[in-house]
Structure 1
Amino acid sequence: MLLGFTKRELGKSNNTSRLRRMSPRRSYDQYCSAARALDVVGDRWTLLIVRELLAGPRRYTDLHADLPGVSTDVLASRLKDMERDGLTTRRRLPPPGAAFVYELTVQGRELLPVLQALGEWGQPELGERRPTDAVRAHWFALPLLRALEGEGLVEVHLEEGDFHLFVGVQEGPVYGDGPAPREPDARLAMDTGTCTAVARGELGLPDAVRAGRIAVTGDGTVAKALREA
């Protein structure tokens, strides 16, 4: 174990990775807040790691599984950089887990509206899914979160899997994989095509509910708002 990582996590080029992690952060050296922000989050994969950690504490292996295409070297390096820059913390779970998990700091969590704005800006770029495109059910969480109003726990059922959203929360996870941890305020069932249309901005949630493309159950304010819209 080196700096909390196993040899498997570090990969074959761990000497090079270790030097990169210990090196000072690169900077654009421009007196501009946008440039300063990009000094911290502008590296490839950093914002997508934030996207995954918005679901709460994650193990390294879980992050690697849900970031297809990232190498073990790069993921280990980014996690160390993000910890250095105050975006994440790393802690060991108590027994019997005894594994390290990574989670966002308050500063890291403040990137949620940045990711939401970036996702909204990128809607026209989404287009049709390419044969090489990976997909995870929970990647639809942030687009749906933008489309939902009110407060409550929402469970979403897709062909790719289930996930849940914490709508209107100020602290804690924004979403999570799998069924809701308790009785949700609303359950939404839809096919992937409908969810994709919502993610692209082509279809509003109330319109999809009225058209029968989304089945809504539950007695919470979110469910009632969708049925009455």
Structure 2
Amino acid sequence: MAAREYGQYDGITRALELVGERWALLIVRDLLVGPRRYGELAAGLPRIPSNILAARLKELQAAGVLRRAPHSRVIVYELTAYGRELEPVVLALGAWGFRTIGDPREEQVVTPDSLTMSLRTAFRPQVAAGLPATAYGARLGPADLLIRVDGARLDVSREEGPVDLAFATGPGLLQVIAGELAPERAVATGVVEVLHGRVDLLDRFATTFRVAA
């Protein structure tokens, strides 16, 4: 049974009963990146109370959105085929939210999984197809993402590998993706710190990852 029922009978109501509770879609967002242990989910959602995380996981499992599965001798949570069907919904919501994202507040953070999904939301394969293959390294605090764009293909992982441009950043990078902050201004204001590689490739990054207004 859904945690909350609205007393209406249609598809939107049913969807909200399944994934409309607070934190539910953010759990789905992170699991769209890949299976996660309980502790990894908690670390990726640093403000979620442990009892709420446990409750949401139980509800989503009961709804058939996710399942518990053994992986390398540990238990992970992963989306079912039914849960993975939420990907275009999550990406569309992300694109819609980018339109009014505004400036990041001091207490707001970007996690590796949230940035991964932001990049998937903003990726423009039709633009990338006409650009040379490029690898970017994005450092978020202690975490590094390897972002590889090859034609219309995007791959984001936590693997190590050679990059054409490495930069350190935080929540402000999403303003670049949203088109609210020019790459050169992002560097000048410290929103993006170029670590090594070709600085001009930040313009290519902003062209490749851009949410249409």
Q: When the two structures are superposed, what TM-score results if normalisation uses the length of structure 2?
A: 0.69
Q: Partners of 1:204 and 1:117 in 2: how far apart? A: 23
Aligned length: 182
8 Å Cα contact 2:111-2:140 kept in structure 1: no
How many percent of aligned residue pairs carry the same amino acid? 37
**Equivalent residue for 2:75?**
100
8 Å Cα contact 2:94-2:118 kept in structure 1: yes
Q: Pick the aligned partner of 1:189 from 166, 182, 205.
A: 166
Q: Pick the aligned partner of 1:140 from 115, 121, 124.
A: 115
Report SS of the residue matched to 2:33.
coil
Label 1:153 to 1:99 Cα distance change in 2 as closer, same or farther (>3 A).
farther
Residues 153-168 of structure 1: pairs in structure 2 closer than 5 A: 156-160=137-141, 161-164=143-146
Residues 183-222 of structure 1: pairs in structure 2 closer than 5 A: 189-192=166-169, 195-202=173-180, 212=200, 214=202
Q: When the two structures are superposed, what TM-score results if normalisation uses the length of structure 1?
A: 0.65
| Amino acid in the other structure paired with 1:147 | F
| Amino acid in the other structure paired with 2:39 | T
Q: Partners of 2:89 and 2:23 in 1: how far apart? A: 15
Larger radius of gyration: 1
TM-fit CA distance, 1:51 = 1.2
Q: Partners of 2:134 and 2:71 in 1: how far apart? A: 26
Q: Structure 1 stretches of 5 or more lacking a match?
A: 1-23, 217-222
TM-fit CA distance, 1:166 = 7.8
Q: Partners of 1:197 and 1:140 in 2: how far apart? A: 12
Label 1:187 to 1:67 Cα distance change in 2 as closer, same or farther (>3 A).
farther
Aligned-residue RMSD, C-alpha: 3.5
Residues 32-51 of structure 1: pairs in structure 2 closer than 5 A: 32-51=10-29
Label 1:107 to 1:201 Cα distance change in 2 as closer, same or farther (>3 A).
farther
TM-fit CA distance, 1:46 = 0.6
Q: Partners of 1:203 and 1:131 in 2: how far apart? A: 17
TM-fit CA distance, 1:203 = 6.1
**Equivalent residue for 2:190?**
none
8 Å Cα contact 1:123-1:201 kept in structure 2: no
Q: Structure 2 stretches of 5 or more lacking a match?
A: 187-197, 209-213
Q: Partners of 2:146 and 2:5 in 1: how far apart? A: 37
